[in-house]
Structures are given as structure tokens and as C-alpha cells.
Amino acid sequence: MALKINYNFQSDFTHANLLKTEAQVNKNLERLATGHRINRAADDAAGLFIADQLKTYAVSLDQGTRNAQDGVSIAQIAQGSLTEVYNILNDVKSKTIQAANTTDSDSREALQQDINKLVDAIGKIFSDTEFNGTNIFGSSPNTFTIHYGGRKDQHLTITSATATAKAGADGSSPSTVTVGKTGYKIDVTTTDNANTSIETVDNLIKAIDNQAANFGSAQIELEKIISNNETARVNTSDAEGRIRNVDFAKEMAEFTKNNILMQSGTAMLAQANQQSQLVLQLLR
């Protein structure tokens, strides 16, 4: 074997390979520390692009689910209030029937006062029903747009009809409940008016039921959207993880192999550097 002083090929070759192995060990350590196979675009540019797109989609689904859950809350609050209104209207219906069955004007006036108090309670329910500071019912229709996905067309609209109530001032004044574009006057000051009000209250109850059905349908649809979003989010996050995340068992095996190579390379470099010392010993 030729021995040279000016250039040690074995040392240079071993050193170059040792640097490559050291770089690979550092990469192994970084992947094991972060849990990611891709930590920068240089690791896998195409993979990073796809993984980032999947992550963005998953984040959009997650926010869309939270928005849909808010929509469910709106629907539930509205239905709860409408149920209370329905219960009160049943009491109103009983009093209209009672008023239609009496010829005593004083009794009808007392019943009208009772009805007015009940209608006043309905008005308070309408005005106090809100979500996040926004009234669900009011003197004009309210629209809630629920964005449940990452695209601009992924939204569902919940619209509540106008819902107000104006109670009569006393036993001689009728009350009016407005739902949508229809006002329902409840007047039992005369027998004929009481008979008419029986049907009026029936129609009002139907209008309230229609509103409840509207919110109920929205809730069902939103709950399906939430379920679909969650399934899609889990699958999307799983797909992103398969691209971005490291296989710990495989990476640990690679690290162990490269660590052994680095240790042996270090030993071989030390041995290669000793060759120059052999020349000096021969010259003594």
C-alpha cells in the first residue's frame, strides 16, 4: 500500500462519508424529536404541500362543526321558547272556550284580563329569546347563516318569522299575537268574539307549531352535518398524519443503524489519519 504525506485518500473518503452519516443521524434525531417525517419543504416538497392542504381542510371542518353546533343551539333555544308559548296558548284556548260559554260580561272581562296577562308573557318570551346577544324572534324576520365547511357555498340558513305579542291594556281591550305576516287578535269581550277567538287561537297554535317544525328540521340537518364533518375530519387528519408524521419504529431502526455507522466511521477516520504518522516513523 502506497503511503503519501500531501494527500490521504482514505482519510478524506472516510471523512466525507462520516459527514453524510452525521447529517442523517441529525435528521433521524429531528424526526424523532418532532414526531414529523417532514419538517421543512426540503424533506419532501410534494408531501408537505399535500399535508398542508389536508391540514387546512381539517381545520375548516373543525370550525364548521363548531359553527353547526352553534346553529343547533339556536334551534334548540327557539324550540324551547316556542314550546313555552304553545303551553301558554293552551291556557288561552281554555279561557276563550270558557268565555264563549258565559253570558256574563263581567266574567268575560275578567277572562280577557287573564288572556292579556298570558299574551304579555308570550311577548316577553319572544323578546327575551336570544342567542349570543341576538334576538331570535322580533318585529322582523331574523336570518342566521351557518357556515359549516371550508367552501363559501357550504352554509345553511335558519330564518325565524316575525313573532311579537301586544297585550290589551285592560279587560275591555283585546290582545294580538303576530307570527309571520299574520296578526291573531284574541278578543273575548263578547260571546261572538269569543267564538271567533277559539278558531283564531287554533290557527295561532298551528303557526307556532310550523315555526317549531322549521327549527326542528334545521336542527336535524345540522346534526347530520356535524356527524359528516366529524367523520371527514378524522379521515382527513389520518391522511395528513400518514404523510407528515414519522414512523417511530422505522425511524428508530434507521437511527440505530446510522449511529453505528457514525461510530465505526469515526474509528476508521482515526485509523486512516494514522497512516501519515507511519511515513514520519519511516523517515526517522
Asked if 68 and 200 sit in the same domain, the reply is yes
**What does the pLDDT look like over 1-20, one tens digit per residue?**
555 555 566 666 766 776 78
Closest CA to 149 of 46, 215, 236, 51: 236
Q: What is the pLDDT of residue 230?
A: 96
Phi, psi of 164, deg, nearest 5: -140, 165
- The pLDDT-based confidence of 221 (bands split at 50, 70, 90) is very high
Asked if 165 and 267 sit in the same domain, the reply is no
Domain presence at residue 40: no
Domain carrying residue 250: 9-35+246-283
Segment 104-126 mean pLDDT: 95
Q: What is the pLDDT of residue 219?
A: 98
Instruction: Please give the distance of CA 17 from its chain centroid, rounded to a whole number.
Output: 52
Q: What is the pLDDT of residue 2?
A: 52
Domain presence at residue 92: yes
CATH number reported for the structural domain that contains residue 89 in this entry: 1.20.1330.10
Q: What is the dihedral of CA 9, 11, 15, 17, to 10 degrees?
A: 60
Q: How far apart are CA 174 and CA 246, in angstroms?
A: 74
Asked if 132 and 15 sit in the same domain, the reply is no
The residues that bridge with 184 in the sheet, in sequence order, are 177
Q: What is the pLDDT of residue 16?
A: 75
pLDDT higher than threshold 70 for residue 104: yes
Domain presence at residue 42: no
Domain presence at residue 91: yes
**What does the pLDDT look like over 200-212, one tens digit per residue?**
999 999 999 999 9
pLDDT higher than threshold 60 for residue 119: yes
Asked if 25 and 71 sit in the same domain, the reply is no
Asked if 104 and 123 sit in the same domain, the reply is yes
pTM greater than 0.85 (yes/no): no
Count of the separate structural domains present in the chain: 2
